[in-house]
Structures are given as structure tokens and as C-alpha cells.
A = this chain, B = another copy of it.
Amino acid sequence: ERLDERLRTDAYADLDASANGLQVGPGGPAEADPDIDHAAFAVDAAVETAERAADAQSDVLCVHHGLFWGEFERATGPTYDRLAPFFENDLALYVSHLPLDGHPEIGNAAGLAETLGLEDREAFGTLGGEHIGLRGRSPDEFAPDELRDRLATECDPEQGVKHLDFGPERIENVAIATGSAADWLDEAVAAGADAFVTGEGKQAVYHEAREAGIHVYLAGHYATETFGVRSLLSLAEEWGVETTFVDCPTGL
């Protein structure tokens, strides 16, 4: 129906890059599927999320992390196991990876920036000619501990947030790149950020942050990337599609 076509063409078209769009399904990657009644949304495509989407009678599972990364040349072993629930339940798989990281309104970083109340937002996290994050200014500066607690509340109250406490006492400029984006620390420093928020860290970040004098907050890969798929879910609901959010936190 018309709303479903809009789901594809109007909202997603501008998101499409590399391996994004339809990953499993009878149509071509850019084709509109005319009969979506129920759409499920999850961060990761996996056996568990596919089965829970099928249990909810979904026609399509929309995710941030898809099944196919780079080339593959067999459908055997784990690849077979992950494809099977899609074929067996007539379930399509729709993926939006980097486009959903960087989208200025419904992206992951955008959702997190919104909850932190950042203003004067600009694109951040260059990758090729595109961006995968956002940065902005907090009208009321954060104290370092205050920002850590805010992030913990919004992202993962249970696990909390890891804080590398090497920056200034008042935090005005915040750069955000969700997921595993520690490689963009340098860009955050160059952009004059007081704090850099991402999901997963990596060992080398510690001394880089210390020597550059910047706060780093690691708020969880899964936790920081629920914002985008939840925005897609809201959009689908506005179009009259039934929706299910398949929450399957990894604690990572």
C-alpha cells in the first residue's frame, strides 16, 4: 500500500549506501514491497531477533547491523542458520547501518544528542565524504560526573558508563559517534570538543585521551545504537504500520 512505499522511497532512499537496504527478500534492493503490515525493529540481525520478529507475525525485520558484511560465497554453517528463519518465515531483512548512524534527525547520534539537549548541532565523524556522528553545545555546561550519570541513565542504567576523566572541569562541547567509533577521537580533539561519547572503546584510547586532555565516555555499543531503530519504529507507526521492538541487549 501507499504508506509502505513511502517507508522505502521517502524515508529510506536518502539513507541508502554500501550494503544497506533490503538484504534478504524476494524483491531487488531498491524495490518497494507493497504489503508490509507488521514491521519489527532490532539493533542486530541474528537467529534470536529473527525468530522473535517471526513470532510477532512481522513481514520485515529492520535492523542496524545486518547479516552481510563484505563478501561471502557460501550459505553454510552459521550463515545458513541465520538465513534459515528468514526463508522459513517469509521474513524480509532491511538494514540501515552507517546511514542510520549519521542521519541528522533520526540517526543514533541524533537521538542521543537530543536526550542530552545539545544545541547548534553539526555533522561529526567523517568517513569518506559522509558523517557518522554529530557534535553540539550544551547550553548549561556539564560537570564531568554529571554527564557520566546522564549517559548512564539514558543508555544503560545497569552497566553504567566507563569514563576516562582527562578533560576540563566544565564540558560545553560534546562530540558523539555511537557504536565502536574510538578512531574518531582525533577528530573530536581537532574539533575542540571537551568530551567524546561513543559506545565501545579500545585500549589505545586511554593514552590518546590523556595526552590530548579530553573526556571520553564509553556508553555501550548496543545501548548507544537503540536510538536510531527506535526512531525508525516511530516513523513506521506514523505511517500506520504495526510495529514491534525486539529488545535484545548485549551488554557490550
Q: Which residues of A contact B (CB under 8 A)?
A: 19, 21-29, 44, 46-48, 65, 68-78, 80-84, 86-88, 162, 164, 179-180, 190, 199-208, 210-212, 221-222, 250-252
Contact = CB atoms under 8 A, between A and B. Distances in A.
Given A81-B211, A87-B87, A252 B203 contact: yes
Contacts of A251: 162, 164, 206
Contact of A70 (B25, B71, B164, B200): B71
Contacts of A180: 202-203
A206 B80 contact: no
Q: Number of copies of this chain in the oligomer?
A: 6
A76 B47 CA distance: 19
Nearest to A163: B251
A220 B19 CA distance: 32
A78 B211 CA distance: 8
Contacts of A200: 200-203
16 contacts: A24-B76, A24-B80, A26-B84, A28-B76, A44-B203, A44-B207, A47-B210, A71-B71, A75-B75, A75-B86, A180-B202, A200-B200, A200-B202, A202-B252, A203-B252, A206-B251
Contacts of A21: 74
